[in-house]
Structure 1
Amino acid sequence: MRRSIATVCLSGSLEDKLYACADAGFDGVEVFEPDLVVSDRSPEEIRALADRLGLTLDLYQPFRDFEGVPEALLEDNLRRARERFGAMERLGVRTVLVCSNVATATDGSDAVAVAQLRRLGDLAARHGIRVAYEALAWGRFVDDYRHAWRIVAEADHEAVGVCLDSFHILARGHDPAGIEEIPGEKIFFVQLADAPALTMDVLSWSRHHRLFPGEGAWDLGRFVAHVARAGYGGPLSLEVFNDVFRQADTRRTAEHALRSLVWLEDRAARLPGSPPHLRRIADVDEPLGFDYVEVKAEDTGQVEAMLEQLGMTFRGQHRTKPVRLWSSGRARIVLNEQHARDEAPHLAGIGLQVADAAAGVERARALAVRPAVRRTQAGEHAMAGVVAPSGIEVFLDDRPPGDEPAWVDEFRHGHDDAGRRPGAVTAVDHVNVSHGRDAHDEAVLFCTSVLGLRTPPATEAAGPQGLVRSQVVRSASGSVRLSLNVSPPGVSHPEHVALSCDDVVALVRRARERGLRQIPVPDNYYDDLRARWGLDEKTLATLRDHQLLFDRSAAGEFWHFYTPRLGNLCLELVQRVGGYDVYATDNTPVLLAAQDRLDHDRGATVPGR
């Protein structure tokens, strides 16, 4: 199906938006009337620009507060429509969006709405224009798409049909299955938006908190499948009101938007009974595990010292690059000093073990994700990679589970025996990635659409400098977990790599003997543990003496600690006991406050990249 987007989704001038939409790969756009009003280009110039860019102008919107009004006001509304139709003819747009009346309607009878829409249809037909009537979720008398369709069906006018908007339908909890009862030729336009599950007035929810498909709580794949089964063959168009998107980079948002639409059509195409004209892209299975984590800096010496304190094994330097490998069990940390002038330690990349790397790359290409390119010498193992929204490079390696990757041989420094000792690091448990608020939704979509990960509910934690929002994305098995964090504006919390072990007490004892420092935990925290969990004095003493944090769920326990930051990175050591499968979010404020105290005590600005 053709892919379109409303210009209201993007920042910038109308011309900027058209260029961005064309570059991203959209087929057409909805022209939001205020974008035209403030433009210094004539409608004819906008039309010519769209033609040159290969874009169709699919919809002119919105036309508000038309039906259900007294006769005198109706005449004025028809005058307004006549003027708008003139502008549409100059633009070359043949469909107008008419929203159900929210402000001026005084008569809620369907008969009045039917008669008045017929008159609008007569006027539109004389200009070669179609009217797409949409039930707004906060419409005064019409707030249900099924009600809007009954009015359109009764009007029985060739120039009057319905517009179906996923937000207005799903925000009210209406069942979209009824869409299949509407003849496809009477569905004049389809608008799509996702949204988080919020409890608030629907108007504010709509105007500020819509999301692109795949980023919210709704099953839009099923919605699109209903539309397709009804016989609709027009554009699938995004209409997303969101304060972040309308302030973000125009081109990046357009690329992000198209990715969501490609993902959505693929998702709908996979549902039973979906029509064949819905396009599918390459299959992707969720990752099987972490292959490696890459840390980059001009000087990685301090990170190496910390890994040695934790008992990990140095596997040697790469034979052609200033890159070193440390490992223990299935945990592999790559330290990269290549092209890192003036850079403090930071998370630069992750490798993921997958069943089919070629299929993953093909899917990423279909989703217009930027490839990550690295030079390899003859005889070196080549892996395909992509760049995540945060800038981290993600490389895919398809090797049998349990096998050591082929690229490890390029370091030539013997075998890892650290992971066999009791209390040793055994694997990468999860990776915490930080990014700005404007990249968060894009990052979630990247992880779900490209990597095939799942999204449990998001959480928030209070730190000394404001709330930190966290969204975990993970595989079903838990072998891959990424925590996507958004810090308050102007605050730089470190990213961290969490390493798992089977005896965190033994590990921290040996690491301390080698000089490891930990994030200090206040005594008040342990008093709180006693109150919350009723821990015995021996367990509390063990936790306090080793500066360990603790959490418990119905399935098991979680013991962990953090190292101080090095640049923009810290390490977390974790032990999951029993079936514990969450992330001790109640401990996050303790971490944030302790890190803040350490940063303040150092009296230095937090290092960046």
Structure 2
Amino acid sequence: MRKSIATVSVSGSLTEKLTAVAQAGFDGVEIFENDLLGCPLPPERIRERAADLGLSIDLYQPFRDFEAVGPDRLAANLRRAERKFRIMERLGADLMLVCSNVSPETVDDDTLAAEQLHRLADLAAGHGIRIAYEALAWGRNVNEYLHAWRIVRMADHPALGTCLDSFHILSRGSDPGGIEAIAGDKIFFLQLADAPLLAMDVLQWSRHHRCFPGQGGFDLAGLLTHVLRAGYTGPLSLEVFNDVFRQTDTGRTAVDAMRSLITLEESVAPVRGAASPLPYASPPDGFAFAELATDDRQRLATLLGGLGFARTGGHATKPVELWEQNQARILLNSPTTDSVPGGDAGTTLTAIGLESSDPRASSLRARSLLSPVLPREREPREAPLEAVAGPDGTQLFFCRTGDSQQPLWRADFSPAAPPAGPVTGIDHLALSHPWRHFDAAVLFHRSVLGLRPHDSFDVADPYGLLRSRAMTNDTGTVRMVLNIARLGDRELSLQHVALATDDIVAVAERLRTVPDALLPIPGNYYDDLEARYDLGEERHRQLRELGLMYDADETGEFVHLYTTTIGRVFFEVVERTGGYRGFGTPNAGVRLAAQHIPLQPSG
């Protein structure tokens, strides 16, 4: 399907937007009027620039507050429209978006609205232009898409149709099933936007919090299914008003926008009877390894030893060490500006190995979704690992697994059996993203990796706000937690590796023998814990003495501990019992406060 985007959806000047949109692979654009007004180029030059980039101009928008007004206002509106049509001719645009009236001058009279829209369509037809009438969710009298369609039918003009906008339909809770009652050839245009599910004024929600499909909570696949069944054959177009996107790199946002449309198109391919635009790849089913780049290898080795890991081998051709315990595998590498996200020094989580039943298919899917495929030098006998870059710069390796004892990539390291111990594997990994890339990270993990997003939550700490959202596969064997964190006026880009255990008491007792290994938890936390949970005196004493934190839900319990931070990385050890699938969220604020203590100036 053809893909388009409104210029308001990305940052920059109009010419910058056109370039970025074309480079991302879009077929066309909607020219948002404010972008045209601020551009020094005349409409003819913009038309030429778009054509040179291979972009059609699919829509000019918006034309506001036209219909159901008195004679004097109608005359002024028609005069205004005539001049806009002349601009559109120069621009090479033949479709104008007309929004339902929000002015206090409009009256609640569908017959009058239809008559005046008929006159507007007549005027437009004389310029070779059509009108797409859209119901704004906050329209004064017309705010439902089926109401707008009734007026279009009453007007009965070949140059007048309707524009469907997913935000205006879904934000009001309207049933999109009614779209199938609209004649397909009268759906002149389709605008798509997702949004988080918020309880707020719909106008403010629309102007500041729209996002790309797959980043919010709307069922856009369901809506698009109804649109296609109605017979719509036009482009899929994004119209997103978002404060973050307006401040983010134009090219990066355009790529993210295209990724969202490709994924959405994949979801409706069966409805169209078309082949999927993407190669299928099963979501990863486990963690092969977590790789840390560190300039403090001795301190990290001491901590890993305290956790029960042992160095089981070195890479045959690279200065990389493998540390193992049961199915938990940590690689230690040396930091380079290429290997460390953001070029940070210290210790950083730089790469993640994801177990895949078909690494080649996983890589091809990532490539089809515009994810950078990372070149990797390897010797002939080394495992052919496929790698792509995550939104935060972390390298994601797709690893084919042989049997559970000998993963194929493991053969690159000198052979040694992993030791037994209380740590059984990697439970989850947590990555920090700049605030402006958070929505992009959610979409990446959802579309490229096939992980399912959970609800996001915010946790206040003494110096800022942590925003977090978990992404998991259906079985819970792969859990990724995406975070935004700030400390005062700077981002606190901590990452952590959470290790699974079936005996957290044994892990905690081992770590007590390692100086400064455990993150100290305030006694006040345990006083509160005793008030919230009746676990018995002995268990509460044990939790307090070992620095263990506790959470429970109706399905089971979660006991966990944290190590101190080395560079940007700390470890968490978790023991899950029953069906508990959360992450100890109620304890996050206390953990954050405890981690901030070493960051404060002394004296």
Maintained 8 Å contact 2:511/2:518: no
Query: Which of the residues 269, 278, 281 maps onto 2:278?
Result: 281
Q: For residue 175 of structure 1, what is the aligned residue in structure 2?
A: 175
Maintained 8 Å contact 2:303/2:514: no
TM-aligned CA deviation for residue 350 of structure 1: 0.6
Maintained 8 Å contact 2:516/2:564: no
Q: Deviations over 1:270-316 (max 9, x none)?
A: 4xxx1235753112322111011011123433212211111101012
1:137 pairs with 2:137: yes
User: For residue 221 of structure 1, what is the amino acid of its counterpart?
Assistant: A
Q: Deviations over 1:422-479 (max 9, x none)?
A: xx21100000100111100000000010000001111111111121000000011110
Q: For residue 467 of structure 1, what is the aligned residue in structure 2?
A: 465
Q: Deviations over 1:403-428 (max 9, x none)?
A: 431221222141112xx33xx21100
1:325 pairs with 2:322: yes
Partner SS for 2:547: coil
Cα–Cα, structure 1 residues 49 and 262, in superposed 2: closer, same or farther, change >3 Å? Answer: same
Query: Which of the residues 301, 305, 309 maps onto 1:308?
Result: 305
Q: For residue 339 of structure 1, what is the aligned residue in structure 2?
A: 336
TM-aligned CA deviation for residue 34 of structure 1: 0.5
Query: Which of the residues 487, 496, 499 maps onto 2:485?
Result: 487
TM-score by length of 1: 0.96
Partner SS for 2:316: coil
TM-aligned CA deviation for residue 602 of structure 1: 6.8
Partner Cα separation in structure 2 for residue 239 and residue 227 of structure 1 = 17
Q: For residue 76 of structure 1, what is the aligned residue in structure 2?
A: 76
1:108 pairs with 2:105: no
1:297 pairs with 2:294: yes
Partner SS for 1:268: helix
Partner Cα separation in structure 2 for residue 277 and residue 286 of structure 1 = 23
Partner Cα separation in structure 2 for residue 477 and residue 515 of structure 1 = 37
User: For residue 382 of structure 1, what is the amino acid of its counterpart?
Assistant: P
Q: Which contiguous aligned blocks of 4+ residues in structure 1 show a shift greater than 6 angstroms? A: none
TM-aligned CA deviation for residue 115 of structure 1: 0.2
Equivalent residues in 2 for 1:121-520, closer than 5 Å: 121-270=121-270, 274-277=271-274, 279-337=276-334, 339=336, 343-400=345-402, 402-417=404-419, 420-421=420-421, 424-488=422-486, 489-515=489-515, 517-520=517-520
Partner Cα separation in structure 2 for residue 444 and residue 343 of structure 1 = 26
Maintained 8 Å contact 1:180/1:229: yes
Partner Cα separation in structure 1 for residue 558 and residue 575 of structure 2 = 6
Cα–Cα, structure 1 residues 284 and 182, in superposed 2: closer, same or farther, change >3 Å? Answer: same
Q: For residue 606 of structure 1, what is the aligned residue in structure 2?
A: none
Partner SS for 2:152: helix
Q: Deviations over 1:135-183 (max 9, x none)?
A: 0000001001101001101111010000000000000111111111111
Q: Deviations over 1:300-355 (max 9, x none)?
A: 33212211111101012212111111011111101111635972101101111122
Q: Deviations over 1:493-541 (max 9, x none)?
A: 4210000111111111123224462110111101100111123211111
Maintained 8 Å contact 1:460/1:469: yes
Q: Deviations over 1:336-393 (max 9, x none)?
A: 1163597210110111112222221121121111112221112000111111111111
Partner SS for 1:389: coil
Partner Cα separation in structure 1 for residue 30 and residue 491 of structure 2 = 37
Partner Cα separation in structure 1 for residue 493 and residue 141 of structure 2 = 49
Q: For residue 607 of structure 1, what is the aligned residue in structure 2?
A: none
Cα–Cα, structure 1 residues 278 and 213, in superposed 2: closer, same or farther, change >3 Å? Answer: farther
Partner Cα separation in structure 2 for residue 277 and residue 413 of structure 1 = 48
Partner Cα separation in structure 1 for residue 388 and residue 532 of structure 2 = 44
Partner Cα separation in structure 2 for residue 104 and residue 7 of structure 1 = 29
TM-score by length of 2: 0.97
Partner Cα separation in structure 1 for residue 45 and residue 189 of structure 2 = 25
Bigger mean CA deviation after superposition, 362-371 or 205-214: 362-371
Maintained 8 Å contact 2:287/2:355: yes
Maintained 8 Å contact 2:67/2:106: no
Partner Cα separation in structure 2 for residue 66 and residue 55 of structure 1 = 29
Partner Cα separation in structure 2 for residue 459 and residue 285 of structure 1 = 28
Q: Deviations over 1:85-133 (max 9, x none)?
A: 0000000000000000011443211100110000000000000000000
Cα–Cα, structure 1 residues 338 and 466, in superposed 2: closer, same or farther, change >3 Å? Answer: closer
Partner SS for 1:487: strand
Q: Deviations over 1:562-608 (max 9, x none)?
A: 111101110111111222110111100111100101222679xxxxx
Cα–Cα, structure 1 residues 155 and 279, in superposed 2: closer, same or farther, change >3 Å? Answer: farther
Maintained 8 Å contact 1:309/1:516: no
Q: Deviations over 1:28-80 (max 9, x none)?
A: 00000000001000100000000100000100000000001101000000011
| Aligned residues between the structures | 596
User: For residue 383 of structure 1, what is the amino acid of its counterpart?
Assistant: L
Gaps of 5+ in 2: 338-342
User: For residue 399 of structure 1, what is the amino acid of its counterpart?
Assistant: T
Partner SS for 1:355: coil
User: For residue 408 of structure 2, what is the amino acid of its counterpart?
Assistant: A
User: For residue 378 of structure 2, what is the amino acid of its counterpart?
Assistant: T
Partner Cα separation in structure 2 for residue 257 and residue 148 of structure 1 = 28
Partner Cα separation in structure 1 for residue 347 and residue 117 of structure 2 = 64
Q: Quick one: percent identity of the two aligned structures?
A: 49
Bigger mean CA deviation after superposition, 261-270 or 298-307: 298-307
Partner Cα separation in structure 2 for residue 170 and residue 440 of structure 1 = 23
Bigger mean CA deviation after superposition, 564-573 or 276-285: 276-285
Partner SS for 2:453: coil
Q: For residue 340 of structure 2, what is the aligned residue in structure 1?
A: none
Partner SS for 1:426: strand
Cα–Cα, structure 1 residues 342 and 593, in superposed 2: closer, same or farther, change >3 Å? Answer: closer
Maintained 8 Å contact 1:225/1:269: no
Partner Cα separation in structure 2 for residue 278 and residue 328 of structure 1 = 44
Bigger mean CA deviation after superposition, 557-566 or 87-96: 557-566
Partner Cα separation in structure 1 for residue 335 and residue 490 of structure 2 = 28
Gaps of 5+ in 1: 604-609
